[in-house]
Chain A
Amino acid sequence: MSEKTPLSREQLFALEPENPALRAEYERRLAAMLETELTGYRKWAWRVAPVFFLGACVSFAVRAWHPGRLPPVGRLAFAVAAVFAAAAALQAARVAARGTLRRKADTRAATQIQLLFMVFAATVFLYSTPQMGDLPRMLQAVGIVVALLVGWVAFLVQHLLEQSELSTREQLLQLEYKLAQLGERLPPPPR
């Protein structure tokens, strides 16, 4: 009995022509799904954002640098805030220079910076509450901030663990992929 070549999907694809105009429209919509071009007021907002964050960074840095006005902890807080503002300025400048917003990557980077900053701000607030004087209000404020802080930290830890797990799995898969490619290039064993 002669061996017949089985039907392949490429043969079926070849029998079904595509309308190039419909494909172009589909690709345009898919590109918009992944990456949005900045136009109009959004373009200007992203151009102004780095300037705003850079201004905040300089302002915080000046306060952190100026000796005598603030206790060391206050100066440290402003120094860290300046680093966050610099990171936000850098991120906004990258988006503005590119002219497009990558929906997943850019929004996630912005969320991470905001979340870390909130954790930091809440920690500073907790540290400074003993100076409030009014004990019941102080306890109430501490309770709220601790609850928020626990939630944010839990979210951050979970996110970091997930990223680390994805990274490890990616490295293992890369190795497996290379081995599979090598295996496929080898000639079949003689019978």
Chain B
Amino acid sequence: MVKGAIGDVRESEQILDELLVLRCRRGDSAAWRQLIGRWDRRLLYYIRRIVSGERDAWDVLQQTWLAAFQALPSLKEPRALRAWLYRIAHRRAISHLRHAGSAPDADAGALDDVGDVPAEDDDGGAFPAEAAERVHACLARLSLAHREVLTLHFLEDVSIEEIASILGVPPGTVKSRLFHAKRALRAAIERGGAS
């Protein structure tokens, strides 16, 4: 990690992504391949939590890259790459669901307006490494809105604001969804463990 010119601490992995974005904007095909190689597993995991069926997920991932390929010149700030890529993947996946006739479920909507969530959840929401298998299996039992927000939380160290910009909802909604999603996941894990 390094102290940047404006005082922020940035990891080499993040700087490498920014470098690759600049090289892609200059038309470097090798940089594109490297960028795709660095991101496709994460994006695929995220898309598979939204779209059912592996074949469809690969199709959505390819559409995501195609859209990124066309729109990259408009990405003026390479630091925003992560949110930008997930936002494209989110839109493509939701559009795929709509075309397939399975409209996104709205069962999390009722929980979005519950107001403030307890602050303890920031620490209490961590899942240990040993729970990976159960977390992975139980994610599928949650609603789409909860699945999405938790997947982003597990895959990346994404801030509430960043998740809000990816999903196109207010930060308060993200906070609330994350709180309830963690509770729902814990309940699902406990039910799974008991059965």
Contacts and interface: CB of A to CB of B under 8 A. Distances in A.
Contact of B62 (A4, A15, A29): A29
B32 A34 contact: yes
Contacts of B16: 177
B81 interface: no
Interface stretch (B53-61, B90-98, B108-116, B166-174): B53-61
Interface in A4-57: 4-9, 11-16, 18-19, 22-23, 25-26, 29-30, 33-35
A189 interface: no
Interface stretch (A89-97, A101-109, A136-144): A101-109
A22 B56 CA distance: 10
B23 interface: yes
B4 interface: yes
Contact of A5 (B23, B61, B66, B129): B129
Interface string B148-192: 000000111000000000000000000000000000000000000
B38 interface: no
A114 interface: no
B154 A23 contact: no
Given A5-B128, A181-B12, A33 B69 contact: yes
Given A12-B45, A26-B61, A176 B4 contact: yes
A5 B62 CA distance: 33
Contacts of A34: 29, 32-33, 69
Interface residues of B, number: 46
Contact of A12 (B27, B58, B62, B155): B155
A180 B29 contact: no
B58 A33 contact: no
A131 B51 CA distance: 69
Interface of A is mostly: helix
B84 interface: no
Nearest to A104: B27
A105 B54 CA distance: 33
A97 to B, nearest CB: 16
Contacts of A35: 29
B15 A16 contact: no
B42 interface: yes
Given A19-B54, A166-B22, A177-B19, A33 B66 contact: yes
B107 interface: no
Contacts of B61: 26
Interface string A175-191: 01101110110000000
**Which 10 pairs of residues, A with B, have the shortest CB-CB distance?**
A180-B12, A11-B132, A104-B27, A105-B27, A180-B2, A4-B128, A5-B129, A15-B136, A177-B15, A7-B127
Given A11-B132, A169-B22, 5 more contacts: A7-B132, A11-B129, A30-B62, A34-B69, A184-B12
8 contacts: A6-B127, A9-B42, A12-B136, A26-B61, A33-B65, A33-B69, A35-B29, A173-B18
